[in-house]
Structure 1
Amino acid sequence: MSAAPDQKVSPQLQQFIMEEQAKAQLQQTVARLTDECWDKCMGTPGSSLSSRETACLDNCARRFLDTTQFVVKYFQSKAQAHSGGF
């Protein structure tokens, strides 16, 4: 959604759009984490998770989040360096 060149987007609308984009990105990350960790850790579905499945899911989720955080920080530092650190 972009405004015509002669129209300004209100700061409140810009904030709302940024918040909605952040929510969508978080939902996408959770869905991807769930897909990857489920495929990696789950065996035959049963009535409860085994201790191995629980430990695997916990470890997988932690590594996924650590990696995602590392990549985000890496690109943020690259963007900052590219923009002169401002």
Structure 2
Amino acid sequence: MDSFSSPSSGSSDDVMDQLKNQLAQAYFEQFIETVREKCFDKCITKPGSSLSGGESSCISRCVDRYIEATGIISKALFSQPR
């Protein structure tokens, strides 16, 4: 039986912490998948056993842009009055 099916198995804070952790993990996995797909498609023109200098710098810039954009979006979402 998992912790979601038995409310008496933990406090509501424990359940909230577990939900936050699961959401953070899902968000991280989705972020990595999106960056991998978008940056790979954009930067890797000839897949091989290693990255060229141009591919490596393209990947770095692409990931940096996604991190920056995610930060901007997060700030905008969480700073809105409720």
Both proteins in one fold, TM over 0.5:
yes
Residue in structure 1 matched with residue 25 of structure 2 by the alignment: 23
The CA deviation at 1:47 is 1.6
Distance in 2 (alpha carbons) for counterparts of 1:19 and 1:46: 36
Please report how far the alpha carbon of residue 17 of structure 1 lies from its aligned counterpart in structure 2 after TM superposition.
Answer: 1.4
Look up the equivalent residue of 1:21 and give its one-letter code: L
Give TM-score, length-normalised by structure 1: 0.78
Aligned-pair identity in percent equals 28
1:13 deviates by: 1.9
CA distance in 1 between partners of 2:62 and 2:70 (Å): 12
Question: What residue in structure 2 maps to residue 12 of structure 1?
Answer: 14
- Structure 1: 4+ residue segments shifted above 6 A: none
3-state SS in 1 of match to 2:79: helix
CA-atom RMSD, angstroms? 1.8
Partners of 1:46 and 1:18 in 2: CA distance: 39
- The reply on whether 1:68 has 2:74 as its aligned counterpart is no
Q: Which runs of 5+ in 2 are unaligned?
A: none
Gaps of 5+ in 1: none
Following superposition, the deviation at residue 15 of structure 1 comes to 0.8
